[in-house]
Chain A
Amino acid sequence: MKTARLRVRRGGEGDAPRYDEFAVPFEDGATVLDALVWVRIHRDPSLAVRYSCINANVCKECTIAVDGKVVYACMTRLVDNRTMVLDPLPRKLRLRDLVTETRPPRERLG
C-alpha cells in the first residue's frame, strides 16, 4: 500500500493560515479527491471540499490548487510518499477549508 501526504489549508476568510497534515493510504490510480473523501471518513469529517459527480469530471465543482496549480481534485493522481500542498482556489472568497465561493452571484442567498 502506498501513502500520500497531504498538507491541507484549513479555515475560512480571515482565519490565520493553518495547514493540517494527513497520511492517506492509496492504491495506484487513486486521486486527490479520493484521498479527501478518505480523510472525511477516517480522520476528519469536518473537512470541507466541494464535489458532486465523484471522479467523472462532469460537475466541474472540485477545482482546488495542488502545489500552487489549479486542477480538478478528481483528475489529479496521488504520488507515493511525496507531500502535496492543497489550497483553495486563489482569488476567490474562501468559505471554509478547500471550499471557495464558486456559485454564480445570482444563485446565492443573502
Chain B
Amino acid sequence: MIPASHLDTDVLIVGAGGAGMYAAIAAARDGAARVLLIDKSLVGRGGATVMAQMTVAAALAEESDDDWRLHLADTLDAGRGLCDEPLAAALCEEAPIRIREMGEWQVGWARRDSGRIAQVAAPGHSRPRCCYVDFLNTGPAVAATLRRQVARVDAIRRLSNLTVTDLVVNDGAVVGAVALDSARGEPVTIAAGATIIATGGLTRIYRRNSASANMGGDGYALALKAGAPLVDMEFVQFFPIGHLAPRLVGMDPIMWDPFRYKLGGRLLDGAGREFLARYGSDETDAYTTPRDIASHAITKEVAAGRGSPHGGVYLSFEHIPPAELRAAFGPVIERLAKNGIDLARAPIEVSPIAHYHMGGIVVDQRMASPVPGLYAAGEAVGGANGANRLSGNAIPEALVFGARAGRAAAAAKPAAGWRDSAAAEAVGQVRELADGRGGDVPASVLLEELRALMGDDVGPLRSAAGLERALGRLGEMQAALGRVDVAPGRVCNASLADWFELRASLVAAEAVTRAALSRGESRGAHQREDFPDSDPAFALSQRVVCDAGGMIAASLGR
C-alpha cells in the first residue's frame, strides 16, 4: 500500500479562525521553528471570527473608570456561578493587551474625534467597554489583520482544505493527527510535538444558527475520542434576536444587536404587544436584557402561539425617525434596502439562533488539556464563560487563549513519539470511504435531520421527554453511520466530507444532550421546562467523558 502523505511539525494548529491564527503567531513568536496551521475550509476565511459583526469587550478604560477586575465581575455574573475563574480572569486581564495590539496592527478600531478608541455599552457590562470596527465589520477586519500577520511569519506553514478526522494517541499522549486532504480525497498523517484544537464551537448542529459551514463540533469529538474531558457542554448560547424574515443575504443573521445598542428597538409579539416585562426584564430606558433571558422569553412566546408568521417575534424600529436610523447606520441602510427591508416602515422577524458554545475542552491556565500534547484555544475551550457568555467576550477569548496556547505549545516537550501503527486505523478509514460506498441514505440528509432534532429537542427550552427522544434518535443515527451512502470520486468529494462531519457532529450532539438531561435545573442558557428554577445543588460544572465502551457520561465536578 502506498503510504499516506506525511507531514512533521513542532506545533499543529487545527482550525484557522481567530484563535488558531493567533496561536500560530504566538507559537512562532515563542520560538517554535515549525508551526502548521490547517483548516478544513480556507485559512482565515471560515469559522466564527469572520462572522463577528460588532462588539469586542476589553477594559481599556478609554471612556470610563474601567478595570479588568470589573470586566471579570461582569463575566462571572453572566456565567451564573459556573465560570472557571482563572480562565475568566485570564480573558479579562489580557484582553486590553490583545485589543491594543490589534490596533497597532491596523485593525481599524472605531475612534472618537479625540482619537480615543470608542467603547460602547452592551447588556451585562457595568461600563461602556465594547469596541468595534464600524459598520458591522469587526470580525472580517480582525480576520484580515490576523491573516496579514500570519503571512509575515516564515515559521508558519498554512494549509487549506485539510480536515482532521482523528487525533493520533501514542502511550496516552496526542502525537499528531490524521487528516483528509479533501481536494485530493486522500489521507495525510501529521506528526506534531504539540497539537492545539482551535476548531470553534458546534452551533452548526442547530437548524437556526449564525455559524459558518465548518462549525460542526469537530474539535469536541476529536478531544473526547483522544481521552480529554469536556465541560459545560449543556450550555449553548442562543442569540435571542437572530434574523428570521424577510430573507436577508450579505449580512450576518446576528446583525441586529448593534442596532439595538445604538437605538434600542422594541421586541413585540405576533400581535404587536411588548412582552419582555413579563419575563422580569425592563427595557423602558435601554437595551439591557441578557441573552439567556431574551432567548427564553421569545421561545416561550412562540410556544404559546403568540409568535410572528415565521415562528419568531417582531423587532421594530418604526418609532425611530428615518434620519436618525440613517445617521446611526449609514451604508447598512442601503444593504437592507437591497433585501427589501425598510426599518422605518415595517418590523422584521427575529428568533433565537445558536450562536456560541460555552462548553468545551477542559484546560488549565496554559490551555493544556489533561491529555499530554493536547491544547485548546478559543471557543473550543470550555469553562471561561460558565452558563452564559457576556456579549463581546468571544473575540478577546480567541486572541487571549490563542496567545496562551501558542506560547505553551511552543515550550512543550513532546510526551511521546509518532508511531505509524497508532494512525493506521484512522488512515484506513479515510481510504475505505474515499472511493465511495453504497448505502441507504446520504450524510447530507442525516445532517439536516440532526439540525432539526437539536433545534426542537435540545434548543433554548428543554424537557426530559425531548432530551430522551433526542438521545434515542442520536443513537440510531450513530448506528446508521455504517450504512451511510458515500458518492464515488475522490477529488472534492462533498459527501465524503459530510460523512466525517456527521460522525463528529453526532458525538458533539450527544455530549450536549447527555449533559442537558443530567442537569435537572434551569441556569443561564440551559432552560428546562420541567425544572424552571435554579437549584443550588447544581452550582457546579458537569464534565463529559468518553469511557472504554465509547459511551459518553456526564458527571458533576470541578
Binding site for B on A (CB under 8 A): 12, 27-31, 40-41, 45-49, 51-61, 74-75, 95-97, 99, 101-104, 106-110
Check A52/B491 contact, CB under 8 A, given A45-B485, A106-B158.
Answer: no
Is A61 touching B494 in the complex (CB atoms < 8 A)?
no
A61-B448 Cα distance, complex, nearest whole Å: 22
Contact partners of B5 in chain A: CB under 8 A: 109-110
Q: How far is the CB of B134 from chain A (nearest CB, A)?
A: 15
Is A46 touching B487 in the complex (CB atoms < 8 A)?
yes
A74-B252 Cα distance, complex, nearest whole Å: 12
A101-B251 Cα distance, complex, nearest whole Å: 26
Is B42 touching A61 in the complex (CB atoms < 8 A)?
yes
A83-B73 Cα distance, complex, nearest whole Å: 58
Q: Which of B157, B161, B181, B188 has the most CB of A within 10 A?
A: B161
Nearest-CB residue, chain A, relative to B49: A58
Contact partners of B489 in chain A: CB under 8 A: 46, 96
B159 within 8 A of A: yes
30 contacts between A and B (CB under 8 A): A29-B246, A29-B248, A31-B249, A40-B444, A48-B494, A52-B45, A52-B212, A53-B213, A54-B212, A54-B213, A55-B249, A56-B253, A59-B41, A59-B42, A59-B212, A61-B42, A61-B46, A75-B249, A95-B183, A96-B492, A96-B493, A99-B492, A102-B42, A104-B160, A108-B159, A108-B160, A108-B183, A109-B159, A110-B5, A110-B184
Check A53/B498 contact, CB under 8 A, given A48-B493, A97-B492.
Answer: no
Binding site for A on B (CB under 8 A): 5, 41-43, 45-46, 50-51, 139-140, 157-162, 181, 183-184, 188, 211-214, 246-253, 339-340, 442-445, 448, 485, 487-489, 491-495, 498
A31-B158 Cα distance, complex, nearest whole Å: 32
A-B contact sample (7 more), CB < 8 A, given A30-B247, A75-B249: A41-B445, A45-B444, A49-B494, A52-B212, A58-B51, A108-B183, A110-B181
Contact partners of A45 in chain B: CB under 8 A: 442-445, 485, 487, 494-495, 498
Contact partners of B45 in chain A: CB under 8 A: 52-53, 59-61
| The residue from B51, B445, B494 contacting A46, defined by CB atoms under 8 A apart | B494
